[in-house]
Structure 1
Amino acid sequence: MNEIKFDLSDENPVSSNVASFSALASELELSIPDYQRPYVWEIKQTRMLLKDIENTKDGALLGSIILHKTENKADDGKTIYEVIDGQQRLTTIKLILMASLNNHNNLKELLEKYNNYLKDVSFFHKISQDNIKTNYEYIKNYLSNEDKASKFLEKLEKTQFIIVATTNADDAFIFFDNTNSKGKKIENYDLIKAFHLQAMQERHKDLQNANARYFESVINADKYNINDFLNKILNFTRKIIKQEHERTKWRSDDLIFDEFCKENLLGQSSCDYGIISDFANGVEFFDYFRKFYEILKIIRQTDFYQKLNHLDGTGYLQKALCMCMVVFMDRFKSGNFDKMMRFATRIIYANRLTYQSVRWESTMGSSEKIIKTIFLNNYESRIYEILDEIARECYLYEQIEIAKNPIDGGKRGDYKELCKDYLNEEFKKYGILGHFLGEQNGAN
């Protein structure tokens, strides 16, 4: 068994070792902090890990483990290391040890030295509990033969890991792999959540679990929309207002960690600038997330928004509409929601009428104009004056484009019908210039 030694100091805050699982599990006091994402591995990933260990020879490498050395001590005086990356593999190995012990009394002596491995780890997420139960039963069946289990454990003990330890939690996140080679992709929202929950540890411990539970409940209910919410709506909108956006980068969500996880060394609150606010690490971010996520839910639940669903196969138009309405509802809490919703639709959806397919650049260009108009004006009446001018520009644009390419079915034709039957009547109620449909001026 190779001994693990980390050469850590103020001058050298990062150190690494290559060590066997036997050394890792018996020498280090490991803890999985509450701010980590749930245990999400399913049988597919568990089976792959079992096969990888079973097929190893002479202690082959099984990936990296990233640890944060804390100031806390365990009951036996050992320093506690928090697992920043590797918790899915390490938790699954804990299940392997438990299943082997419960299956085979003859292996008890072999496994005694690992009694303290992840001994105090608890999982309050239901998704974690369900996956642990399922994977435990799978492993128990997989290692039901005692001879097979004994040989498997011998290989597990020799399996090697690259262990990176740091005294600085921020450095640990820098090293945090976005993808486990044999596991599930770690989503950006998991990294953002972990960053801010970790920042709350010293000053807001009572709020940590509450915010973790809220965030996980949102992910469980709306998993496939969270990255879109953070990137396509909040991140894009912030960059538009701050004039930091480049449209060529708008399709990527690689930069949202940098946008939402800027270090606030003093941890002090800053002024509230609405959607472009910065926030002290932790509490203010979760307040910010909750506020804008709840606004978005309201927008999506409106009948008007729902009627537009089938006209936007790409999702670009509705995302652009949401960006505008999120800014409006934040800036003008008692503003005329219905009127603004229709004004934004009138302008953003102009290209649905004039093109068979949605053009991302023109859609984002339209939303930029609306977002800047809303954010930079203090009077709602002035915003409508500016948007009316933009709507008239759209009307002239539609005339020119439809003259060149008459409406001829497809989704563009569907949108024409919706305009005739519903939208232009809705625009008329609020004094908004409707879409140009062609036949209004004698065109075919």
Structure 2
Amino acid sequence: MTDGINKPVIYRLIFLSYKLTYRYKSTIFMIMLVLFRNFGKLNLFSKILSGFKSMSTYQTMLRRKTGSANIKSKSQTSYKYTKKRVKPKFVDVLTIEGLLINYKLEIPEYQRPYKWQQGHIASLIDDLQKNLNLPSYRLGTMVLLKENQKFSIVDGQQRIISIILILLAYLNSNNRSNHSKVSKLSKKVSSISNTFKFISDISKANIQQNYRLIEQELKKLEFQNNIIEFLLKKCEVVVVTLDDISEAFQFFDAQNARGKDLDPHDLLKAFHLREFSERDKDEISGIVTYWESLSAKSLKSFFAYYLYPTRSWIQSKSSRNFTKSEISMFKGINLDNDEIYPFAEQYIILNLESGVKFPFQLDQRIINGKRFFEMVEHYRKRFNELDLEKFDKNFDIDDNAKQILITINNYTYNNSYIRIGDIYILRVFKSLLVFYIDKFKDKELSNAIRKIFIWIYSLRLNHEKVQLASVDNYILESNLFEHLSEAHQPKEFLTFRIPMVEDEKSSKTGEISKLFKELGYMKDA
């Protein structure tokens, strides 16, 4: 003990912070900083840290806290604590053996399917083989939710399932020479594998394929038996344990927003799951099971090509690429917050109406939690059902409107070649058409189809090439989405002025030009 400071404790904190992620380095750093500040030993603090490789990280964090690159004296240093952070109940670094022995692991029903494929397994085994000589090997982080002495896997399930498959295949193999290495874990591994329940067909298929691959790898001469011992004794994971489901999803959300590139819709899923109200939490399992049954590729495309651009253009914002930086577009109001402002009262009333289908609108505020998932499904179906060739089966439109829909569909997809610019334009047409129907249903629908067609295909005829940037710029300069959002009646939307096409610059757009001439928006040559 030196002047009230327990050095071994401080050294342990520094060592632990060096091994953890930036998020927890910051937390431990602040503990040390407060301790040294209270004892007037900030200069000693600087000397202790100088021997560590992560000194630059600590200096950066210190600058953020003190506004200076130098360690100041107690009288000079000021501290500003701003953002409340999730505090893990427990953080530890464990070997795989320690994890399996000490934690009763479960996969909650709301988890995504097991999507690791044979390439991931081959890469994992290859990594193990290459690093056998290391004293320890870090496999990543797991986020666990503690519930009644059971630990649900919030993040890290893909890797741990794969590890369980490797151990099971080894235990079931004919290579018994080293079974003693895992004999103590035999029952534990079997118990965990029986606990893991998989509903998704995707999970079941990947588990079967990956298990077969592991069996094949075990039979290869180059597969060394001590890989299993290395996996159990030397491979480590950082285990973050929380006891509140909202905090668990918040931690998952924050970690993945900064780390590996999850798709934006996965980050939104995590955010809105923790926003569920208490009365809706019984529905989480069913909603997530359905959400995960959908194609990840189709969800990604739906957000990127339709939902995100539409909401962005309604708000007069650029919408070229949907990344995790733009997910705030789909974060709205939590109706269970203690402080609800008057503007949100209308949503509370609508939300409490039992037995009534919620009246979603593309330009309304997002309601967090259950309503987000319902909103996505509502518009996913709307867009999927928008078959232009069969549109007149569901809506009463005139012959000219029918011809427009058939022409633009055939022009885009049935030519001998497909131009990406034409696909961009058709997506805009569909998005605005859905927005119109969403707002006014079938009132003046034929005239609306003509208006939307002339507006967006003017861009096609006025340009030799159409790129994503030119589409985005055109909409922001002549924003029919915003005009529709502000309209209270169909006639207000239909008054939007669109200039004639004076000089056609596009090629191979004869059928489009013909329709423009028939509608009086292009002069005959």
* Fold conserved between structures, TM > 0.5: yes
Larger Rg: 2
Unaligned runs of 5+ in 2: 1-23, 29-83, 341-346, 351-358, 391-404
RMSD: 3.3
TM-score of the pair, normalised by structure 2:
0.66
In the aligned structure 1, how far is the partner of 2:488 from the partner of 2:430?
Answer: 20
Q: Does the 8 Å contact 2:272/2:368 carry over to 1?
A: yes
- CA offsets 1:220-252 (integer angstroms, 9 cap, x no match): xxx434223223422232233334x2x3x6324
The 5-angstrom pairing of residues 161-200 of structure 1 reads 161-167=237-243, 168-177=247-256, 186-200=262-276
Q: Which moved more, 1:224-233 or 1:125-134?
A: 224-233
1:385 maps to 495
Given the superposition, is the C-alpha separation of residues 149 and 361 from structure 1 closer, same or farther in structure 2, using an over 3 Å criterion?
Answer: closer
Residue of 164, 170, 174 corresponding to 1:94: 164
Secondary structure, counterpart of 1:413 in structure 2: coil
* Distance in structure 1 (CA, Å) of the matches to 2:428 and 2:86: 47
1:3 matched to which residue of 2?
none
Measured after TM superposition, the shift of residue 90 of structure 1 is 0.7
- Which residue of structure 2 lines up, in the alignment, with residue 306 of structure 1? 409
Give the whole-Å Cα distance in 1 for the aligned partners of 2:136 and 2:333.
38
Report what 1:333 is aligned to. Answer: 441
1:400-443 residue CA offsets vs partner (Å, 9 max, x unmatched): xx2xxx64xxxx2211x11245x337xx4xxx543x26xx2x5x
**Equivalences for residues 40-439 of structure 1 within 5 A:** 40-56=115-131, 57-70=133-146, 72-73=147-148, 78=149, 80-104=150-174, 106=176, 107=179, 109-112=183-186, 113-117=188-192, 119-144=194-219, 148=223, 150-157=225-232, 158-167=234-243, 168-177=247-256, 186-200=262-276, 202-219=278-295, 223-243=296-316, 245=317, 247=318, 250-262=320-332, 264=334, 266=336, 270=348, 274-302=361-389, 304=405, 306-310=409-413, 312-314=419-421, 315-368=423-476, 369-386=479-496, 389=497, 391=498, 393=499, 395=500, 398-399=501-502, 402=503, 407=505, 412-415=506-509, 417-421=510-514, 423-424=515-516, 428=518, 432-434=519-521, 436=522
Residue 13 (str. 1) matches residue 106 (str. 2):
no
Q: Does the residue aligned with 2:239 lie in a helix, a strand or coil?
A: strand
Contact map agreement 2:429 2:452 (CA 8 A) in 1: yes
Contact 2:136 / 2:236 at 8 angstroms: preserved in 1? yes
Q: Which amino acid is the alignment partner of residue 315 of structure 2? A: K
Listed one character per residue, the Cα deviations across residues 341-399 of structure 1 (whole Å, up to 9, x for unaligned) are 3321211111211211114444235545211121111111221122xx2x2x2x1xx31
Q: Is the 8 A contact 2:267 2:324 kept in 1?
A: no
**Match for 2:268: what amino acid?**
I
Q: Which moved more, 1:340-349 or 1:252-261?
A: 252-261
Distance in 1 between residues matched to 2:440 and 2:157, nearest whole Å: 44
| Contact map agreement 1:35 1:208 (CA 8 A) in 2 | yes
Distance 1:147 1:50, change over 3 A: closer
Q: Which runs of 5+ in 1 are unaligned?
A: 1-5
How many angstroms does 1:326 deviate by? Answer: 2.3
Q: In the aligned structure 1, how far is the partner of 2:156 from the partner of 2:121?
A: 14
Cα shift at 1:45: 0.7
Cα displacement (A) at 1:262: 4.7
SS in 2 for 1:356: coil
Query: What percent of counterpart residues are identical?
Result: 21
Contact 1:100/1:143 (CA < 8 Å) preserved in 2?
Answer: yes
Shift of 1:330: 1.1
Q: TM-score, normalised by structure 1?
A: 0.77
Residues 59-112 of structure 1 show CA distances to partners (whole Å, capped at 9, x for unaligned) of: 543332231433x21xxxx3x333232211111111111111222484262433
User: Structure 1: which 4+ aligned runs deviate by more than 6 Å?
Assistant: none
Question: C-alpha offsets along residues 235-284 of structure 1, whole Å, 9 cap, x if unaligned?
Answer: 232233334x2x3x632422343222457271795466611334443321
Distance in 2 between residues matched to 1:413 and 1:36, nearest whole Å: 50
How far apart are 1:318 and its partner, in Å?
2.0
The number of residues matched between the two structures is: 394
In structure 2, relative to structure 1, the CA distance for the partners of 1:237 and 1:98 (3 Å cut) is same
| Residues 1:139 and 1:180: Cα distance change in structure 2 (over 3 Å) | farther
Residue type matched to 1:241 in 2? I
